Structure formats: structure tokens, C-alpha cells
Structure 1
Amino acid sequence: MSDSLPFWKRKSLSAMTRAEWESLCDGCGRCCLHKIRDDETEEIHFTNVACRMLDTQGCGCRDYANRKDHVPDCVQLKAKMLPALDWLPPTCAYHLLARGGDLPEWHPLVTGDPESVHRAGISVRGRAVPEREAGALEDHVVEWPGRWPARSRKGGRAPRAAGSLGRKAG
């Protein structure tokens, strides 16, 4: 493949450097929202309740390097894990690339602007409730984090890839 292509189009997820891997995160914060798995159906339900480490305005972890010290069950994503994960938001770059898709037009690697994810309405900014203020998770079940917006605010459509990009979450 041509070296003129961006790294995410010429490298597999497992071949990326740590810096390339980390740069795939668009900073939306959706993966840092609490989820509830239905014991009977196994269905995933997103909530709008943010992990206590998520800065709900900046949409980044308050202590990313040491997050597992604060939240022991925080998941450190790895390429080999991606096929089995059913709780990543459909807009997630890791999710999209693992299924043969591309980065969406509002992704900061495409736009060169870390604010583009917020302007496109993809992030949790203005929609997340801090964990310490939330109360019962069941009272905060929402659909938007588990769905791809029909159109981003910039008019883009969801990128398509081989296989389903849909989610079971309601």
C-alpha cells in the first residue's frame, strides 16, 4: 500500500504504534458511559452516566495513565479484543476499523481539529451526568450513545463496512 495513505488505511490495528493506536480515540467519551447488561437477554443498555474519571466537558480521562488505579475494571482496549466487544459505541474508530470501515468525516484525525467530534454532536459533552450525581443507573438509560446519528451536524452519513455496524443496544 502507498505510504501516502494515512496510517489507519495502510496498517492493521495490531501493527499500529502505541501513538497511532491512541490517536484513533476521537475523544467522544461514549465508551466511558456506564452500561447495563440485561441478565436475561444479554442486551447492552447505555446510560448517560459518566465514569467518575471522565471530564464531562473535555471528554477525556482525568488521569488516563493511572486510570486502572482509580477504576480497576476500566478496560484497556487491544486489537485482539475488538471482535468480542459488544459494548463499544458504533461511532468508535476502533469498532469501525476492526470491521473494515473507515474513520468518519468528523474524526479529529480526518479534520485535524479535536473539537470536530464535539461540533458534530458525537461526544458526551453536555449530555453526560457525573457518576457521583447520578443515583440509580437504571434511571439513566438512554439510546443515543449506542446509535449512529442519522446525519452528523456536518451532514455526513455513517460509514459502511463489511458486516454489521449496528448494535443490539436499545
Structure 2
Amino acid sequence: MASPEPFWRTKTLGAMTRPEWESLCDGCGRCCLHKLRDAETEELVWTSVACRLLDGQSCQCKDYANRKARVPDCVKLTPAKVGAIDWLPPTCAYRLLAEGRDLPWWHPLVSGDPETVHSAGVSVRGRSVAERDAGALEENAVDWPGRWPASARPIPRRRRA
């Protein structure tokens, strides 16, 4: 007998339970990197500078429950916001599912191992700079957070049932 399809293949983002929604985060930390936007061109520029609450080793928020109080410009993702946010990394599960794609092999829900996001080269582990050590954001501009790592190939689009 075939095993049932996982929830992310059968539910829309809006139909997911809170625990299902939260489990979509792969723990890469890319969305917690500071970004710059050119005032004239609206071009997005990634930096390697991590939010002060991001643990650079675990790639998890140090105070997730209170993050909005401690970092007022922290964005709480919702199903409605996902489609409107242009700064989610291309590897982000929320973005992938909103675009009709599947989760990649290294996502912890697929692999069963929270370390695969790191071993696949997707996370910010070892590549981020703490805010207190960074200096000017412009000096820390990078492009890798906006790209798929070569070792973590993208998943082709699929149709929802």
C-alpha cells in the first residue's frame, strides 16, 4: 500500500496547521540576513550580515517567540505575505510551495535530518557575519543568498492536485 502524500503536497499554505507551517522552515537562516534596497532602482542587494538574534552556528533565532519585540522590523511570514515578498531566498520552502514547486532533497522534512540543509551548502552556517562585527552593510554585499547552491539543485515546477 502506498504511503500517503506528505502535507506540503496536499495542502495549500493557508490550509496548514501552525505546526505544519512552522516545520516548513528549513533552518537555513538566509531570510535573517540583512538586505539593502536601492532607493532609485528598487534592486535588492543581499549581505552576509545576520540579524542580531540569529545564531550563526545553529542558524536558528535565539529568541523566536519574542523576535518582533526585540527586532521590530522582523517580518512574520504568513501565507498571504509569501507571494508579495521578493526577498525570500530561492531555496525557501515557503516560496517554493507558493510557486508550485516541491521541497528539495535536503529539506529536513524530506531528508529526516536537520543537518542536510547545512551539508548541502544552503544555510548561512560559516558564511554570516554578526551585526556587531560587520561594519557597514554595503561592505558585506554578497550574492550567494539569492542563488541556489550548485550542490542543492532546484526542483522543477509541479502541478498541484
TM-score for both structures, normalised by structure 2: 0.94
What's the offset of the Cα at 1:149? Answer: 1.7
Measure, in 1, the Cα distance between the counterparts of 2:151 and 2:135: 32
- Which of 146, 157, 160 in structure 2 is aligned with 1:161? 157
**Contact 1:47–1:137 (8 Å) recurs in 2:** yes
Secondary structure of the residue aligned to 1:5 is coil
Identity %: 67
CA contact (8 A) 2:23 2:109 kept: yes
SS in 2 for 1:84: coil
Which residue matches 1:18?
Answer: 18
Q: TM-score, normalised by structure 1?
A: 0.90
2:138 counterpart of 1:127: no
Residues 151 and 158 in structure 1, CA contact (< 8 A), matched pair in contact too: no
1:10-65 deviations in Å (ceiling 9; x for gaps): 00000000000000000000000000001111111110000000000000000000
Match of 1:76 in 2: 76
Q: Classify the secondary structure of the residue corresponding to 1:80.
A: helix
Counterpart of 1:14 in 2: which secondary structure? helix
- In the alignment, the residues of structure 1 paired with residue 34 and residue 130 of structure 2 have an alpha-carbon distance, to the nearest angstrom, of 10
Aligned residue pairs, count: 157
Q: Which runs of 4+ in 1 moved over 3 A?
A: none
Q: Which residue of 2 aligns with 1:117?
A: 117
Shift of 1:3: 7.8
TM superposition shift of 1:161: 2.1
2:61 & 2:151 partners in 1: Cα distance? 27
Q: Aligned partners of 1:160, 1:52: CA distance in 2, in Å?
A: 34
Q: In structure 1, give the amino acid aligned to 2:31.
A: C
Taking the TM superposition and a 5 Å limit, the aligned residue runs for 1:1-170 are 4-152=4-152, 157-161=153-157
Structure 1: tracts of 5 or more residues without a match? 163-170
Note if contact 1:3-1:10 (Cα within 8 Å) is conserved in structure 2: no
Give the Cα separation in 2 of the matches to 1:4 and 1:89.
29
